[in-house]
Amino acid sequence: MKSIKTTLNHIQNYPIIPVYYNDDVDLCISIIQACYEGGIRAFEFTNRGKKAIDNFAALVDYKNKHLPELYLGIGTIKTVEEAKQYIQLGADFIVSPVVNPAIAEITLKKDILWIPGCMTPTEVSVAENAGAPLIKLFPGSIVGPDFLKNIKPLFPSLLFMPTGGIGLEKESLDAWFSKGAVAIGLGSNLFQAPANSSTPDDFQWLVKRCKEIFATL
């Protein structure tokens, strides 16, 4: 089990976090393997479908056998019951789209990182008071980098990770990092195969894309 401090350090060392879900477990494994080959070392699988629990359990097993440096978290966790279930399955960190302080009680007790989703200063303050050290700014495409620049001085002890609708371009990523982000969550934009890919199912395009992103940081 990773500690909160260890996970925070790991995320800051590998600050691109893919955010992904699919019902097809084999596809999930192929995606996470390609991301790992591309340099990803923290990955958020989301609790967004009927196969989420089974697929996450399979990913944890695959990670333990083949991806020794990967920290695998679970996202879209809104209740204490969900948090407990995925912690038992082996989640390295918990991500929420909302601020539910009751989840913090569970994660702090077990020394597991909880990353709540916030969109306003009030939500950030509630998350801070609940003990969250890292805040997910969501949706990132709505609040924008200047929002982070303006609220960061209000919360000097907190770290921020924008997620949602963020472009892959160097200019987009640089805008967030230059305004104070310590990590960025990338969703559907990361997983769209290039139109000119002759073999989209071998996911070498995803390996290449992840490598290119890290090369620009």
CATH number for the domain that contains residue 199:
3.20.20.70
Residue 29: its H or E element:
helix 25-37
pLDDT at 1: 64
pLDDT at residue 197, as a whole number: 72
Which two tokens mark 66? 């083949």
Mean pLDDT by 10 residues, the chain (217 residues): 94 98 97 98 97 98 98 98 98 98 97 98 98 97 96 97 96 97 97 80 93 95
The closest of 36, 38, 40 to 13, measured between CA atoms, is: 40
35 within 8 A of 144, measured Cβ to Cβ:
no
The token pair at 140 is 């990132």
Given this model, what pLDDT does residue 201 score?
A: 78
Three-state secondary structure call for residue 73: strand
Q: What pLDDT sits at residue 48?
A: 96
Q: How high is the pLDDT of residue 202? A: 87
What is the count of structural domains for the chain? Answer: 1
Residues 155/124, Cβ–Cβ less than 8 Å = yes
Query: What is the domain extent for residue 127?
Result: 4-216
Cα–Cα distance between 28 and 31 in angstroms, integer?
5
What pLDDT is attached to residue 140?
95
* Res 198: pLDDT: 62
pLDDT at 183: 98
Q: Which of 217, 171, 175, 212 is nearest to 190 (CA)?
A: 212
**Beta pairing class for 16-20 and 184-186:** parallel
